[in-house]
Amino acid sequence: MSMILENKALSLYCVIVNFGEGSKVLKASKELGVTGGTFLLGKGTIKNSILNMLGLDEVRKEILLMVIEESLEESLNEHLRKRFNLDKPNHGITFSIPITHLAILNRHEYISKPKMRGADDMKYEAIVTIVDKGLSDDVVEAAQSAGSTGGTVIHGRGAGSNDTAKLFNIEIEPEKDIVLILSESEKTEAIVNSIKDKLNIDEPGKGVIFVVDVNRTLGLYRE
Amino acid sequence: MDLLLEKFKEVFKSVLPISILVIVLNFTLVPIETDMLIRFIIGSVLVVIGLGIFLFGADIGIASIGNLMGEEVAKTNKVYLVALLGFILGFFITVAEPDLQILANEVSGASGGAVPAPLILVVVSIGVGVMVAMGLLRIIYEKPLNKFLTLIYFIIFILGLWVSEEFLAISVDASGATTGAMTTPFILALGLGVSQLKGGKTSEEDSFGLVGIASTGPILAVMILNIIAGADKIVGEAEVFQAHSGILGPYLEEFAVMIKEAALPLIPLIILFVAFDVFKFKIHRSRKNRILKGLVYTYVGLVLFLAGVNAGFMEVGRVMGYGIAMLPYKWIVPFIGFLLGMMVVLAEPAVHVLTKQVEDVTSGHIPRKIILFTLSAGIAFAVSMSLLRIMIPGLKLWHFLLPGFGLAAFLSHKVPPIFVGIAYDAGGVASGPMTATFVLAFAQGAASAIPTANVLVDGFGVIAMVAMMPLVALQLLGLIFKIKAKREGINVHDSGK
């Protein structure tokens, strides 16, 4: 899949649905050629004064993250909309974010994009690393050795193209650690390469790294 | 309103199987009185409504309190404070448990008054308090759960050599009685709170196991009490069974009792919560309101649920058990028990709480359905074995318990640690009010129809089987998980690392 993905515009496709629906969405997406996805758990709120008064305004949600080719967005949107009635209220939402770069099974070194917006302010990028559970410490360590100041670890589960086992006909999706790192654009290259080398992201099934552009930040510590 | 509907749909699906089974049995094998059948149907409806409301409340009320207290306990960072708070929480939650009060009276009566009921109540509560404290310290000191549990069960085994079979059954039943509908979600959340605040690599697997540890407290306490007091024969007879008549009468009676009983375990929870809040949490008013609303739901839900179970299910269980055991083809008894066990556990309140916590902690990696399926199979097996034991005088309780707990201890060193915690917790969870009432009534009904059986003695011990089988079943599931995961190349953390 790496060879196909290379040099193509990519996006991060996010779906937020009620708990339990996520796996179905991923399955439907796979029909269109999506290779895998990662789930996070969250809580959603409902705007309904009666339910608020009763204290019943919290729902468990699943957030599904998928890295897809940008050209697939249109058809995936249509497919999911039809299958899960997403145009009706309370059936879930989707959105997509352009990805600056993806490092998965990629033999080439990561090279920063040339600056597009001129050299006005300090630019930041968000580096998202998804690895097997328990490896987040290694990711943060590798990032720090390359100049990152820190990272945030989220716990989730994921399903790639070939690593789901079935038990009583229910798919078992392995647990994942998702590491979010905000870095200055100049440092991104070094950090991504450091993580990639330390965790052998090049090898199949070892994880995914992708980089998303960030517009504004607050609260980042700068030396 | 979607949310409410969703919840009730889920609850409805878990109560429907057992209701259908009973109605089918009524029209095929054992016809029961029309009054009783109508009462059963009303009971089913009450159980659905009650369970739905209870689960909402448990989520935003009891679980929140448990989490907050767990975090607070872990924050104290002083060993003696953790131990003391653990003890206080365990003790007061248990002492107010209505099931335990009933059991204490029964045991006191069964031992011919040699052991007064209040003494049993206090001793068992101390047992739970001590074990909750130990369980919390275990999480903080990162002692492996499997070794810890193996040690406890080894001590139980040694003590068991001096204890008569009757008291062996009573002691395990006591552990079932203490893990009530209120207590279990609270202790589950308490363990979760502590392990999450502590964090670290073992945080996920440490989120489970506290209920399992806490439920060994009563076993140890009753055994030690028995050895000291020396009563080893159960005397007295079981109450003569008298079926109620009418439809509404029994409900009114049960409601009157349950309104009081369901309030009892709430009192220490509220007192502890308010005390903690004044001194420690100081949480936002809207959050506090939410928690208090949750407690109200829990209470209302539990009253409806328990009234439904006691007035609608219990007698039907008893009559069905008797009727089926009277049939000319006896082999059908364990078979029906199998079906019954399989379906009844789905309607158990704490089972929903546990499976949800499993999903939350593992981000859905271990799906709810698989846990339910395994638990269902385990309880089915437990109930049918219990009935077989009642039918065959040569089969003793320890013939099942000894290999069962032995196998559980062995497996706990072979499976991923999180499954050890889930399995031992599930043991306490499965022996909740629904299973305890309905299955016990069914077994007692069957025992009263079998000449070689003793209703009182054989009745005890059914809960023991129900509490034991999940340990084996869910750990076997863990083993399958591990093997499957290995074959497919997924990294599941080994217990031996």
Report yes or no: B73 and B90 within 8 Å, Cβ to Cβ.
no
Question: What pLDDT, in 10s, does the model give residues A58-117?
Answer: 778 888 888 887 788 888 888 888 888 777 777 788 888 887 766 554 444 454 554 454
Nearest-CB residue to A167 (from B204, B294, B370): B370
Q: Which residue has the tokens 């080439």?
A: A108
How large is the average pLDDT for residues B137-152? 88
The domain spanning residue A201 has which CATH number?
Answer: 3.30.70.120
Q: Is the pLDDT of residue B473 over 90?
A: yes
In a domain, A65, yes or no: yes
B239 CB-near residues (< 8 Å, 6+ apart): none
Q: How far apart are CA B466 and CA B428, in angstroms?
A: 9
How large is the average pLDDT for residues A136-160? 81
Angle, CA B432 vertex, CA B426 and CA B433 arms, to 5°: 165
Question: What pLDDT, in 10s, does the model give residues B318-347?
Answer: 888 888 888 888 788 889 899 999 898 888
In a domain, A223, yes or no: no
Query: How many Å lie between the alpha carbon of B250 and the closest alpha carbon of chain A?
Result: 31
Query: How many Å lie between the alpha carbon of B285 and the closest alpha carbon of chain A?
Result: 13
Question: What pLDDT, in 10s, does the model give residues B430-464?
Answer: 888 888 788 888 888 888 888 777 776 677 778 88
SS3 A220: coil
On whether any CB of chain B is under 8 Å from the CB of A21, the answer is: no
Range of the domain at A191: 3-218
Report yes or no: B325 and B446 within 8 Å, Cβ to Cβ.
yes
How large is the average pLDDT for residues B254-267? 80
Query: Over the Cα atoms of chain B, what is R_g?
Result: 21
How large is the average pLDDT for residues B392-420? 87
Given this model, what pLDDT does residue A7 score? Answer: 55
Question: What pLDDT, in 10s, does the model give residues B95-114?
Answer: 877 778 777 777 777 666 66
Given this model, what pLDDT does residue B141 score? Answer: 84
Instruction: Give the residue, B304 or A91, on which the prediction is more confident.
Output: B304
Nearest-CB residue to B365 (from A51, A58, A157): A157
Q: How far apart are CA A34 and CA A161, in angstroms?
A: 9
Instruction: Give the residue, B110 or B1, on which the prediction is more confident.
Output: B110
DSSP state of A112: P
On whether any CB of chain B is under 8 Å from the CB of A168, the answer is: yes
How large is the average pLDDT for residues B393-421? 87
Q: How many domains does chain A have?
A: 1
Mean pLDDT for chain B overall: 83
B465 CB-near residues (< 8 Å, 6+ apart): B382, B383, B385, B386, B397, B400, B401, B404
Query: How many Å lie between the alpha carbon of A121 and the closest alpha carbon of chain B?
Result: 37
Of A26, A56, A155, which to mutate for an interface test with B (greatest number of B Cβ within 10 Å)? A56
Q: How far apart are CA B404 and CA B387, in angstroms?
A: 17
Q: Given an 8 Å threshold on Cβ–Cβ distance, is B484 in contact with A172? A: yes
Q: How far apart are CA B451 and CA B454, in angstroms?
A: 8
For residue B481, which residues of chain A lie inside 8 Å, CB to CB?
Answer: 167, 172
Q: How far apart are CA B115 and CA B300, in angstroms?
A: 35
**Percentage with pLDDT > 70 across chain B:** 90
Domains of chain B by residue range: 2-487
ipTM above 0.85, yes or no: no
Q: 296-335 in B: which are within 8 Å (CB) of A?
A: 297
Query: How many Å lie between the alpha carbon of A192 and the closest alpha carbon of chain B?
Result: 23
For residue A54, which residues of chain B lie inside 8 Å, CB to CB?
Answer: 293
Over chain B, what HEC string results?
CHHHHHHHHHHHHHHHHHHHHHHHHHHHCCCCCHHHHHHHHHHHHHHHHHHHHHHHHHHHHHHHHHHHHHHHHHHHCCHHHHHHHHHHHHHHHHHCCHHHHHHHHHHHHHCCCCCCHHHHHHHHHHHHHHHHHHHHHHHHHCCCHHHHHHHHHHHHHHHHCCCCHHHHHHHHHHHHHHCCCCHHHHHHHHHHHHHHHHCCCCHHHHCCCHHHHHCHHHHHHHHHHHHHHCCCCCCCCCCCCCCCCCCHHHHHHHHHHHHHHCCCCHHHHHHHHHHHHHHHHCCCHHHHHHHHHHHHHHHHHHHHHHHHHHHHHHHHHHHHHHHHHHCCCCCHHHHHHHHHHHHHHHHCHHHHHHHHHHHHHCCCCCCHHHHHHHHHHHHHHHHHHHHHHHHCCCCCHHHHHHHHHHHHHHHCCCCCHHHHHHHHHHHHHHCCHHHHHHHHHHHHHHHHHCCCCCHHHHHCCHHHHHHHHHHHHHHHHHHHHHHHHHHCCCCCCCCCC
Of A65, A172, A178, A206, which to mutate for an interface test with B (greatest number of B Cβ within 10 Å)? A172
Strand partners, B110: none
In a domain, A98, yes or no: yes
The single-letter code of the amino acid at B366 is I
End-to-end CA distance of chain B: 47
In a domain, A53, yes or no: yes
Mean pLDDT for chain A overall: 75
How large is the average pLDDT for residues B131-160? 89
Residue of A nearest to B364 (CA): A157
CA atoms within 13 A on the CB side of B120: 31
Q: Which residue has the tokens 């716990």?
A: A155
A53 CB-near residues (< 8 Å, 6+ apart): none
pTM: 0.83
For residue A62, which residues of chain B lie inside 8 Å, CB to CB?
Answer: 364
Residue of B nearest to A47 (CA): B1
Q: How many CB atoms lie within 10 A of CB B147?
A: 14
The single-letter code of the amino acid at B491 is N
Q: How far apart are CA B86 and CA B74, in angstroms?
A: 10
